[in-house]
């Protein structure tokens, strides 16, 4: 069973709460790494929490929510070993897992309708990495992380 780390900034708080309800309905274990209020916070802090939980093996995958999803995705991808994808529909959520082995998905609470976010989460959770020709490409991404050192 997959364990998820989830976090948001203040703009994504309501979206995060809705995703948590969905995860509970689906029986998916999750850890909420904040924020817990609508007081203004800095999204990189929360993206880093989720990214570190993923790379440290505390969870299997992550979900990040901010106003657009963009800031969270950028911040998470600064952590070596993270392949965070900004997705906007179920198709991009499915493909980020199947082709890119994305270990974090980012969504925009202000830019994506709640019913679409629900479809995104379901697609992200149900899709698996296909390997094959995609494995070589994902390995090249890992090599880019090593160049950061």
Average pLDDT, the chain: 96
For the record, the structure tokens of 112 come out as 């994506």
pLDDT at 94: 98
- Looking at the DSSP assignment, which residues form a beta bridge with residue 60? none
For residues 30 and 147, the model is more confident at: 30
Residue extents of the structural domains in the chain: 3-147
Tokens for 126?
């149900």
Q: What is d(CA 15, CA 54) in angstroms, rounded to the nearest whole number?
A: 21
- pLDDT tens for each residue of 68-84: 999 999 999 999 999 99
CA distance 105 to 116: 14
Task: Give residue 148's pLDDT.
Answer: 66
> Which residue out of 36, 66, 96, 134 is catalytically annotated?
66
Q: Which member of 36, 96, 99, 134 is catalytic? A: 99
Give residue 69's region: left, alpha or beta (phi > 0; psi -120 to 50): left
Q: Which residue has the tokens 């950061």?
A: 148
Contact (CB, 8 A) for 59 and 31: yes
Catalytic: 96?
A: no
Is the per-residue pLDDT at 36 higher than 70? yes
pLDDT at 147: 83
Closest CA to 21 of 34, 9, 32: 32
The length of the chain, given as a count of residues: 149
**For residue range 80-125, what is the model confidence (pLDDT) as tens digits?**
999 999 999 999 999 999 999 999 999 999 999 999 999 999 999 9
Taking the C-alpha atoms of residue 129 and residue 103, their distance in angstroms, rounded to an integer, is 10
Angle at 132 between CA 127 and CA 137, to 5 degrees: 90
Tell me what percent of the residues of the chain surpass a pLDDT of 70.
Answer: 99
Give me the CATH code for the 3-147 domain, please: 3.40.1400.10
Q: Is 99 a catalytic residue?
A: yes
């Amino acid at each position: 069973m997959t364990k998820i780390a989830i976090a948001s900034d203040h703009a994504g708080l309501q979206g995060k709460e809705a995703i948590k309800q969905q995860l509970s309905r689906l029986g998916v274990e999750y850890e909420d790494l904040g924020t817990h209020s609508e007081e203004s916070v800095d999204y990189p802090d929360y993206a880093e929490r989720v990214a570190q939980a993923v790379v440290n093996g505390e969870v299997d995958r992550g979900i990040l929510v901010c106003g657009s999803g963009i800031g969270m995705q950028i911040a998470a991808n600064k952590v070596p070993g993270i392949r965070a994808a900004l997705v906007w529909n179920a198709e991009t959520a499915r493909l980020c897992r199947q082709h890119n082995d994305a270990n974090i998905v980012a969504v925009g609470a202000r830019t994506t309708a709640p019913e679409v976010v629900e479809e995104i989460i379901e697609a992200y959770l149900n899709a698996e990495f296909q390997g094959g020709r995609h494995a070589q490409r994902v390995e090249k991404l890992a090599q880019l992380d090593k160049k950061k050192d």
